[in-house]
């Protein structure tokens, strides 16, 4: 087996450490896999053995088609950042092994992501980039990190020269952090500082909030598209008509999901289109076929389980209160999907309609409901099925959202406004006597969306 073949077969479960020989006679020992994009690139913490000494490095490995071009772009981008005096890792060497290109970077130690937007610090960084004419096209939380020495910018492949739109970058940066009820106030504070980047020309805080909401929706759609392949959070498998996706941190297999429908299962719902059980701390939903024609028609689009799996991952990444997705299992034959299972973590609590029926619309419940839909607006998220049983009141008084099969994120504001208004109308239709404060506050969200 060539080393290039080993790179192509890399998974997050790779057997490390692994020592390889580089061109020129040097050796490199992979110690820890930090990131993997199957078939394209990997990032390792490694030891570089050269001239009788071991050097701690971070190795960015590019393989597959155009690996040489992508390694060139990484090297040029990091050099561009350092020339502009923007803190970035130093490129120590460029090496090759088989058909893989390696860029060896200095090891900056244990880097951590920022827990808060740190608006003032980030804006100073963006000011420098704008002044130096350096543009970074992928400024997410994994590419602006810090250690004891301060901030560092990573991913040279996304760096080029040109005009840097600092306001757009700031909105993208804020979109990386979980939504909070005070997001509009936070946006106003950021905008006051951001005015310096445009020569003192202020933009309205509502415009900044709208940009941030758009980028959150775009980020959510990008996350949803990634959860069907191997990542640091998800493991996948496909074999003879079976597709399996599962949370990497949960020791579970397809047999555990199918076994949930055994005799000891606690059936929550048994309908023509779906059967839902509670098993071993999981809620497992099986999609049923009403008829041969129904099965053939629904198999031509993504299953409700697949949509729920993707939407739940995206919603959690944006900070929306939804259960943790655990696994997706699908079977197909001759190109048609025959069976679909989706499992997520059980969330204890009572449905919203039960709470309202027992205690009425208390003030704290109205506040929690409005806060929830305000977060929806901040993400341009619509649920699509706003019956009261899909909203669960947890023990801490917060509201957890269930059944994201028909949910969607809308980068385009006109589409979002229409769907959001329909969601709120359907939500309020659950009660014929919804209190005026709740109706007025939700109506205000529609008007300001």
Distance CA(320)–CA(381), nearest Å, equals 10
Q: pLDDT band at 266, cuts 50/70/90?
A: confident
pLDDT at 15 over 70: yes
User: Does residue 322 share a domain with residue 268?
Assistant: yes
Average of per-residue pLDDT across 366-376: 94
User: Does residue 435 share a domain with residue 371?
Assistant: yes
Question: By the 8 A CB rule, do 427 and 438 touch?
Answer: no
Q: pTM of the prediction?
A: 0.87
pLDDT at 204 over 70: no
- As for how many domains the chain has, the answer is 4
The CATH number given to whatever domain includes residue 126 is 1.10.510
The CATH number given to whatever domain includes residue 404 is 1.10.510.10
**Residue written as tokens 């704008």?**
130
Q: Which of the residue ranges 26-40, 174-188, 351-365 would you say has the lowest mean pLDDT? A: 174-188
User: Does residue 65 share a domain with residue 13?
Assistant: yes
The CATH number given to whatever domain includes residue 93 is 3.30.200.20
Domain residue limits at 246:
234-345
Question: By the 8 A CB rule, do 320 and 375 touch?
Answer: yes
User: Does residue 118 share a domain with residue 216?
Assistant: yes
Question: Containing H/E element for 327?
Answer: strand 325-333
Last residue of a domain, one of 304, 325, 345: 345
Tally of CB atoms within 10 A around 358: 8
User: Does residue 436 share a domain with residue 371?
Assistant: yes
User: Does residue 239 share a domain with residue 221?
Assistant: no
Largest CA distance in the chain: 80
Q: What pLDDT is stored for residue 246 in this prediction?
A: 96
Distance CA(35)–CA(107), nearest Å, equals 15
User: Does residue 321 share a domain with residue 360?
Assistant: no
Q: What pLDDT is stored for residue 198 in this prediction?
A: 46
User: Does residue 399 share a domain with residue 442?
Assistant: yes
pLDDT at 218 over 50: yes
pLDDT at 247 over 90: yes
pLDDT at 200 over 60: no
**354's tokens:** 């039960």
Q: What pLDDT is stored for residue 199 in this prediction?
A: 46
**Residue written as tokens 């205690």?**
359
Q: What pLDDT is stored for residue 4 in this prediction?
A: 54
Using the CB atoms, write b or e for 261-286: b if 16+ within 10 Å: eeeebeeeeeeeebbbbebeebbbbb
User: Does residue 257 share a domain with residue 156?
Assistant: no
Helix, strand, coil shares of the chain as percentages rounded to 5?
40, 30, 35
**423's tokens:** 């969601």
Q: Which of the residue ranges 2-6, 137-141, 308-312, 380-384 would you say has the lowest mean pLDDT? A: 2-6
**314's tokens:** 């995206």
Last residue of a domain, one of 60, 84, 106: 106
* Beta strands, E only, 171-259: 234-239, 242-247
User: Does residue 196 share a domain with residue 289?
Assistant: no
Last residue of a domain, one of 327, 345, 363: 345
User: Does residue 205 share a domain with residue 148?
Assistant: yes
Q: Which of the residue ranges 226-240, 278-292, 421-435 would you say has the lowest mean pLDDT? A: 278-292
Range among 42-46, 63-67, 300-304 rated most confident: 42-46
């Amino acid at each position: 087996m060539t080393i290039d073949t080993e790179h192509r077969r890399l998974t997050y479960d790779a057997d490390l450490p692994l020592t390889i020989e580089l061109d020129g006679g040097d050796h490199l020992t992979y110690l820890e896999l930090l990131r993997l994009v199957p078939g394209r690139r990997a990032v390792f913490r490694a030891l570089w053995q050269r001239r009788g000494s071991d050097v701690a490095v971070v190795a960015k490995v590019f393989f597959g088609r155009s690996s040489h071009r992508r390694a060139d772009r990484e090297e040029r981008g990091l050099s561009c950042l350092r020339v502009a005096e923007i803190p970035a890792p130093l490129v120590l060497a460029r090496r090759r092994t088989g058909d893989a290109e390696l860029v060896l970077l200095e090891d900056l130690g244990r880097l951590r992501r920022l827990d808060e937007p740190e608006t003032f610090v980030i804006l100073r960084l963006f000011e420098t980039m704008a002044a130096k004419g350096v543009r970074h096209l992928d400024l997410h939380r994994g590419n602006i990190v810090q250690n004891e020495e301060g901030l560092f910018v990573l991913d040279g492949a996304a760096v080029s020269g040109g005009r840097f739109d600092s306001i757009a970058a700031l909105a993208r940066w804020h979109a990386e952090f979980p939504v909070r009820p005070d997001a509009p106030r936070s946006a106003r504070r950021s905008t006051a500082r951001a005015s310096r980047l445009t020569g003192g020309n202020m933009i309205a805080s509502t415009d900044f909030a709208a940009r941030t909401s758009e980028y959150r929706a775009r980020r959510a759609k990008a996350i949803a598209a990634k959860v069907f392949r191997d990542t640091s959070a998800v493991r996948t498998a496909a074999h003879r008509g079976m597709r399996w996706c599962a949370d990497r941190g949960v020791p579970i297999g397809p047999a555990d999901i199918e076994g949930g429908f055994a005799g000891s299962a606690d059936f929550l719902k048994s309908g023509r289109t779906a059967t839902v059980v509670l098993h071993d701390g999981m809620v497992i939903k099986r999609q049923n076929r009403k008829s041969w024609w129904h099965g053939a028609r629904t198999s031509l689009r993504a299953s409700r389980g697949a949509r729920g799996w993707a939407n739940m991952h995206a919603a959690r990444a944006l900070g929306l209160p939804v259960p943790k997705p655990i696994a997706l299992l699908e079977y197909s034959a001759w190109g048609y999907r025959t069976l679909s299972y989706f499992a997520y973590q059980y969330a204890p609590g009572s449905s919203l309609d039960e709470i309202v029926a027992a205690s009425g619309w208390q003030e704290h419940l109205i506040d929690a409901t409005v806060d929830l839909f305000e977060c929806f607006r901040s993400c341009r998220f619509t649920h699509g099925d706003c019956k009261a049983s899909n909203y669960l009141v947890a023990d801490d008084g917060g509201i957890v959202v269930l059944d994201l099969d028909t949910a969607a994120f809308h980068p385009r504001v006109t589409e979002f406004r229409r769907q959001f208004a329909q969601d709120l109308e359907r939500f309020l239709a659950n009660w014929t006597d919804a209190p005026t404060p709740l109706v007025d506050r939700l109506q205000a969200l529609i008007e300001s969306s």
